[in-house]
Structure 1
Amino acid sequence: MTQHNDPVVSADVLIRFADWMVRAVVVVVLLFAYLAWVERDPVAALPAGGAVLVAVSAWHRVTQAPEPKAARAAGPAPVSIADVDRMTCRELQLLVASLLRRDDVGGVHAPTSRVDLSSEVLGHTPTGRTVLVRCHRDAPRRRLGAAAVQRFLDDTLGVRATDLPVLVTTGRFTRSALALGESRGLVLLDRTQLATWLTGRPTRLTPHLGA
């Protein structure tokens, strides 16, 4: 796993952790309250417990919901690279998904990632080629090296075979990373390329989307 020392990224991890801690506390409190109620009045507690379970499930679905359909249909709102630097990992993932949809990539979906600080977006080009984009939320001055590129290649060309592997970073790539990516047919988009992509202008990815 790529190591991140960006304080903004660290804050993103803390936000995720705090979110799960709040959820855990709420569930534990509800559980103990329910058990106490069951002891006093099991007949009334059973339907009430079912209602609480439905409410908790709905809460989870709402808070983890992907982009609204209206937002997907309308495409991405104007975003600058400065806006991207303030995004969480999940927000970056959804932004990349919306950019792919704008560029006519079909079947785009962005599975929720809770563990890693990189996330992936999947889809296929109009000609049916599979696309896998891994998004790295990095500090602007951070440089991803050849090791990170090799790990991605091992994933996409090994266990998770894909026709068009794309690696996006909000930071930059080292020269060795760029050389390795070019030699292995990997599309690398750094923050400069990402800023260009946001405006709708051609990037290194553009020629591959129509192929």
Structure 2
Amino acid sequence: MRRLRVRSPRGAAEWSAAGVVGLAGLLLLVRMTAAALTGLRAAWPAVLVVVLCAAVVVAWRLGRAAARRQRDRQRQADLRITLAEFDAMDDRRFEYALRDLLVRDGWPARRVGGGGDQAADVIGDHLQRGRIVIQAKHTRVGGKVGSSVMYAVKGTARPVHKAEHAVVVTNGAFTRDATVWGDRHGIHWIDRERLRRWAESGAALHELLGLPARSRPVRFKRAA
């Protein structure tokens, strides 16, 4: 297929014809613009009503979203969980509950528990207090968590998860060897009594554990 090529006008006659066509096009554009402006002036009350209605709808939706966020923040700040409620949970719900408590205390947190979690069920990142890893151990009332859990958390908290703080939380108890080993090696532990103070009485986790705040924000490293 041959390509069409537009050539420049040649001679006075062609230039005059091109000028007439250009002028006609310009006049048509001016008339169309004038007609559009005339129509807009005639319809401006309706346009204004539509714009105002749209603005009201947008403001209403933004207001609802802001109110919902405020309710969520207030509900989170008022979060209290009793030991009886913990005892009735399964492992998964227990992990989500610990995540919610971290969020309540100002730690943006996420549940990561599951297969291959490498001894971390919840991870929270705080700009002043660093990264915390929680290993959740939900057990029957009277059940005890042994030292092997402490060993596993110690082996992955910093090397794998890049965490500065590691905590094992249970609704039961710990063996004496587990608490002694944890204290010696910097693995915090929350037993049933401490869990009650944290979740039911409303004490912040960093207060229970004595985690200091830094003057400069912490820069987090990506976990392997």
TM-score normalised according to structure 2 size: 0.55
User: Is residue 187–residue 205 contact of structure 1 (8 Å, CA) maintained in 2?
Assistant: no
Give aligned-pair identity as a percent: 20
User: Is residue 129–residue 213 contact of structure 2 (8 Å, CA) maintained in 1?
Assistant: no
User: Is residue 147–residue 177 contact of structure 2 (8 Å, CA) maintained in 1?
Assistant: yes
Secondary structure, in 3 states, of the residue corresponding to 1:188? Answer: strand
**Residue-by-residue CA offset, 1:4-61 (whole Å, 9 max, x unaligned):** xxxxxxxxxxxxxxxxxxxxxxxxxxxxxxxxxxxxxxxxxxxxxxxxxxxxxxxxxx
CA distance 1:93–1:111, change in 2 (3 Å): same
Verify: 1:120 aligned to 2:114, yes or no. no
Verify: 1:190 aligned to 2:179, yes or no. no
Amino acid at match of 1:79: I
How far apart, CA to CA, are the structure 1 residues paired with 2:169 and 2:87? 13
Amino acid at match of 2:213: G
Amino acid at match of 1:175: R
Verify: 1:90 aligned to 2:92, yes or no. yes
How far apart, CA to CA, are the structure 2 residues paired with 1:109 and 1:154? 21
The Cα of 1:128 is off from its aligned counterpart by 5.2
Amino acid at match of 1:207: G
Q: Which residue of 2 aligns with 1:145?
A: 146
How far apart, CA to CA, are the structure 1 residues paired with 2:183 and 2:170? 16
Q: Which residue of 2 aligns with 1:159?
A: 160
Larger radius of gyration: 2
Matches within 5 A, 1:52-91: 73=73, 74-75=75-76, 77-91=79-93
User: Is residue 85–residue 170 contact of structure 1 (8 Å, CA) maintained in 2?
Assistant: yes
User: Is residue 125–residue 210 contact of structure 1 (8 Å, CA) maintained in 2?
Assistant: no
TM-score normalised according to structure 1 size: 0.58
How far apart, CA to CA, are the structure 1 residues paired with 2:168 and 2:211? 14
CA distance 1:193–1:124, change in 2 (3 Å): same
How far apart, CA to CA, are the structure 2 residues paired with 1:72 and 1:120? 23
How far apart, CA to CA, are the structure 1 residues paired with 2:112 and 2:80? 23
User: Is residue 133–residue 167 contact of structure 2 (8 Å, CA) maintained in 1?
Assistant: yes
Secondary structure, in 3 states, of the residue corresponding to 1:166? Answer: strand
Secondary structure, in 3 states, of the residue corresponding to 2:193? Answer: helix
Secondary structure, in 3 states, of the residue corresponding to 1:157? Answer: coil
Q: Which residue of 2 aligns with 1:104?
A: 106
**Residue-by-residue CA offset, 1:83-115 (whole Å, 9 max, x unaligned):** 100011111111111111111113x11135268
User: Is residue 198–residue 204 contact of structure 2 (8 Å, CA) maintained in 1?
Assistant: yes
Name structure 2 gaps, 5 residues minimum. Answer: 1-67, 215-224
Name structure 1 gaps, 5 residues minimum. Answer: 1-67
The Cα of 1:77 is off from its aligned counterpart by 3.9
Q: Which residue of 2 aligns with 1:171?
A: 172
Verify: 1:135 aligned to 2:132, yes or no. no
Secondary structure, in 3 states, of the residue corresponding to 2:121? Answer: strand
Secondary structure, in 3 states, of the residue corresponding to 2:210? Answer: helix
How many residue pairs get aligned? The number is: 142
CA distance 1:191–1:128, change in 2 (3 Å): closer
